[in-house]
């Protein structure tokens, strides 16, 4: 990694340099004052950089060497499914026939794009066991909100205005309660039991006439399958509520079990997790939502339909929740996901989940002697360990995470789920080789031993990164959120 102090692009800038090439204006120029009134003309030029093309290339190349991606090394970040992002997906998304389409072209001129979206929808319907899928939501959280808005519309159409509560397990992702709030619901927490799954007795207590839905991740964020799911569905449905499936952890279930068969009414998927589209340093993602028949009328506008060989957008949806996104979702991301599904097919997708789960269990069993394992049963695609034992030696989970950086790894998710003390949540994915897993396991064992014999090396980590631990407190107390030129 590049340890040099890295200048900002603004600091490289020098008056008079350019990094672009536009043709000379080929139409007669009119005096700008005749076109734009002077009070609407910019007075002060925006202080954007003045740099040459090579300077741009050096700058961003240098930045890239100060960043760790899946291509740089192992990235076992729990619940994020950091698997390989295939190169062919990137190439296909850049085909001019996909990259250079305008959303307002006549549908007759984008039949290939519509066919692709229709086929992707149909594939996702089969994979999730749902009746209809929309590709509109831009990300997982956006999908959650879309799904909850549909559930709200369904209840309101039945005159059920008193269904104001969404039940969320204590191990849920933070987006679940946040999405419930922005969809106008109140969230209620349901506890997990000692086995790490939802406590059915507590669920029976909190469910009632005011229940709009239960949101559930399955396998949950502890990597455990909610084995009572059928009973849970029954409890919620009998109370008149709907079941929402947070698809963040779908990498464990492809071709093995389907949310639709478990009893879920609404599902969202994160194509940037399970279906290999890149995380991009935080986005863009894509969060398609699938629903059962009863909820189909409430899908966001428009939906893609097929009539013979003709594909089209249907806007006449009187009960729809409306638009959630301009145009038709993150099409470029959906192209990548469809390319992946066509690469793997039904057999490949099932293997994906089998190997993701096999890898996770292998790591779990090998690490179990060295760290506390709050839940002992077989896990699915991810598992949690607790750093309690190391904490007693003065080494916190944060220190373990930082020490892993020295070995060239991105650390696991830490301090989540909230119901596990000093939590480490590890998700290897199926695209990693056994050798990679073994090397990571060796590093973890070494760190566990260091915690006993030489805790300082862990506490003071990282030692090999481009920068040491940063002062996050000052960053938040005295925020500096943009560059200001020194005078």
Partner 1 sequence: MKFRYLPMTDKDQKDMMETIGIDNIDELFADIPKDIRFDGDLKIEEALDETTLLKEMGRLANKNINIKEYNSFLGAGVYEHYVPTVVNHMLLRSEFYTAYTPYQPEISQGELQAIFEFQTMVCELTGMEIANSSMYDGPTALAEAAMMSAGHTRKKTILVSKTVHPEAREVLKTNAKGQNLTVVEIDEKDGVTDLDHLSSEYSDDTACVVVQYPNFLGNVEDLKAIEKIAHQGKGLFVVSSNPLSLGVLQPPGKFGADVVVGDVQPFGISTQLGGPHCGYFAVTKKLMRKVPGRLVGQTTDDHGNRGFVLTLQAREQHIRRDKATSNICSNQALNALAASIAMSALGKHGVKDMAMQNIQKAHYAKEQLKKNGLEIAFDKPTFNEFVVRLNKPVKEVNEELLAHKIIGGYDLSRDYPDKENMMLVAVTELRSKEDIEEFASVLGGVK
Judged by CB under 8 A, the chain residues 135 through 194 that form the site for partner 1 are 138-142, 144-145, 149, 152, 173-175, 177-184, 186-187
- Give the nearer residue to partner 1 in terms of CB position, either 209 or 467: 467
Q: How far apart are CA 324 and CA 144, in angstroms?
A: 11
- Could you tell me which stretch among 238-246, 291-299, 335-343, 382-390 binds partner 1 (CB under 8 A)? 335-343
Q: Any contact of residue 446 with partner 1 (CB under 8 A)?
A: no
CB 406 within 8 A of CB 393: no
Q: Any contact of residue 487 with partner 1 (CB under 8 A)?
A: no
Q: Any contact of residue 308 with partner 1 (CB under 8 A)?
A: no
Q: By C-alpha distance, which of 392, 387, 406, 274 is closest to 333?
A: 274
Q: How far apart are CA 1 and CA 405, in angstroms?
A: 12
- Give the nearer residue to partner 1 in terms of CB position, either 41 or 193: 41
- Give the nearer residue to partner 1 in terms of CB position, either 193 or 452: 193
Q: Least Å distance between CB 246 and partner 1? A: 12
- Give the nearer residue to partner 1 in terms of CB position, either 452 or 456: 456
What lies within 8 Å, CB to CB, of 42 at 6+ separation is none
Q: Any contact of residue 392 with partner 1 (CB under 8 A)?
A: no
- Give the nearer residue to partner 1 in terms of CB position, either 308 or 453: 308
Binding string to partner 1 for residues 455 to 484, with x set by CB under 8 A, is what?
Answer: -------x--xxxxxxxx-xxx--xxxxx-
Joined tokens for residue 425: 């949540």
Strands of 423-426's sheet, edge to edge?
383-386, 423-426, 413-414
Q: Least Å distance between CB 388 and partner 1? A: 22
Q: Least Å distance between CB 206 and partner 1? A: 15
Q: Any contact of residue 255 with partner 1 (CB under 8 A)?
A: yes
Within positions 314 to 333, which residues make up the interface with partner 1, using CB under 8 A? 321-333
CB atoms within 10 A of CB 475: 11
Q: How far is CA 315 from CA 104, 143, 266, 290, 299, in A?
A: 14, 20, 21, 18, 11
Q: Least Å distance between CB 268 and partner 1? A: 12
Q: Any contact of residue 365 with partner 1 (CB under 8 A)?
A: yes
Joined tokens for residue 405: 């950086």
Q: How far apart are CA 277 and CA 221, in angstroms?
A: 21
CB 191 within 8 A of CB 184: no
Q: Any contact of residue 302 with partner 1 (CB under 8 A)?
A: no
- Give the nearer residue to partner 1 in terms of CB position, either 347 or 453: 347
Q: Least Å distance between CB 24 and partner 1? A: 9
Concatenate the DSSP letters of all residues of 358-410 into one string. Answer: HHHHHHHHHHTTTSB-S--S--SS-EEEE-HHHHHTT--HHHHHHHHHHTT-P
- Could you tell me which stretch among 208-216, 235-243, 290-298, 344-352 binds partner 1 (CB under 8 A)? 344-352
Within positions 423 to 442, which residues make up the interface with partner 1, using CB under 8 A? 430-434
The rounded radius of gyration (Å) of the Cα atoms in the chain is 25
Q: How far apart are CA 130 and CA 146, in angstroms?
A: 16
Within positions 15 to 74, which residues make up the interface with partner 1, using CB under 8 A? 17-22, 25-30, 32, 35-37, 39-43, 45-51, 53, 56-57, 59-72
Question: Applying CB under 8 A, what is the total number of residues that bind partner 1?
Answer: 205
- Pick the binder of partner 1 from 154, 225, 375, 383 (CB under 8 A): 225
CB 158 within 8 A of CB 127: no
Q: Any contact of residue 486 with partner 1 (CB under 8 A)?
A: no
The owner of tokens 């957008």 is: 313
Q: Least Å distance between CB 233 and partner 1? A: 10
């Amino acid at each position: 990694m590049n340890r040099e102090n890295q200048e900002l692009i603004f600091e490289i800038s020098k008056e008079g340099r350019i990094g672009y090439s536009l043709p000379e204006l080929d139409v007669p120029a009119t005096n700008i004052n005749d076109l734009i009134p002077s009070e609407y003309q910019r007075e002060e030029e925006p202080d954007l950089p003045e740099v040459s093309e090579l300077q741009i290339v050096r700058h961003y190349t240098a930045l890239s060497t100060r960043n760790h991606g899946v291509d740089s090394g192992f990235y076992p970040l729990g619940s994020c499914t950091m698997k390989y992002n295939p190169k062919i997906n990137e190439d296909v998304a850049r085909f001019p026939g996909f990259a250079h389409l305008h959303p307002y072209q006549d549908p007759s001129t984008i039949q290939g794009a519509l066919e692709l979206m229709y086929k992707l929808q149909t594939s996702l319907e089969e994979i999730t066991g749902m009746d209809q899928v929309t590709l509109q939501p831009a990300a997982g959280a956006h999908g959650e909100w879309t799904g909850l808005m549909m559930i709200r519309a369904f209840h309101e159409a039945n005159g059920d205005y008193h269904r104001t509560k969404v039940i969320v397990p204590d191990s849920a992702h933070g987006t679940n309660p946040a999405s419930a709030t922005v969809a106008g619901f109140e969230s209620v927490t349901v506890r997990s039991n000692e086995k790490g799954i939802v406590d059915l007795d507590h669920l029976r207590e909190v469910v009632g006439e005011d229940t709009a839905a239960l949101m559930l991740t399955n396998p949950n964020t502890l990597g455990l399958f909610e084995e009572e799911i059928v009973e849970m569905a029954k409890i919620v449905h009998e109370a008149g509520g709907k079941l929402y499936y947070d698809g963040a952890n779908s990498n464990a279930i492809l071709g093995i079990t389907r949310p639709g068969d478990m009893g879920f009414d609404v599902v969202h998927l994160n194509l940037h997790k399970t279906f290999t589209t890149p995380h991009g340093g935080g986005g863009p993602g894509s969060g398609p939502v699938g629903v059962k028949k009863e909820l189909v009328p409430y899908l966001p506008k428009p939906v893609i339909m097929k009539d013979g060989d003709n594909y089209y957008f249907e806007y006449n949806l009187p009960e729809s929740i409306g638009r959630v996104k301009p145009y038709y979702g993150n099409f470029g991301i959906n192209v990548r996901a469809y390319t992946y599904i066509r690469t793997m097919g039904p057999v490949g997708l099932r293997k994906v989940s089998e190997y993701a789960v096999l890898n996770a269990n292998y790591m779990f069993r090998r690490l179990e002697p060295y760290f506390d394992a709050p839940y002992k049963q077989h896990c699915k695609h991810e598992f949690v360990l607790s750093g309690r034992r190391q904490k007693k030696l003065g080494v916190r989970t944060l220190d373990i995470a930082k020490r892993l950086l020295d070995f060239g790894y991105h650390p696991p998710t830490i301090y989540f789920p909230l119901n596990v003390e000093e939590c480490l949540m590890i998700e290897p994915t199926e695209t990693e080789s056994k050798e990679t897993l073994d090397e990571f396991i060796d590093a973890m064992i070494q760190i566990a031993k260091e915690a006993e014999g030489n805790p300082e090396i862990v506490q003071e980590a990282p030692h090999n990164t481009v920068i040491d631990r940063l002062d996050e407190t000052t960053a938040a107390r005295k925020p500096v959120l943009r560059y200001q030129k020194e005078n």
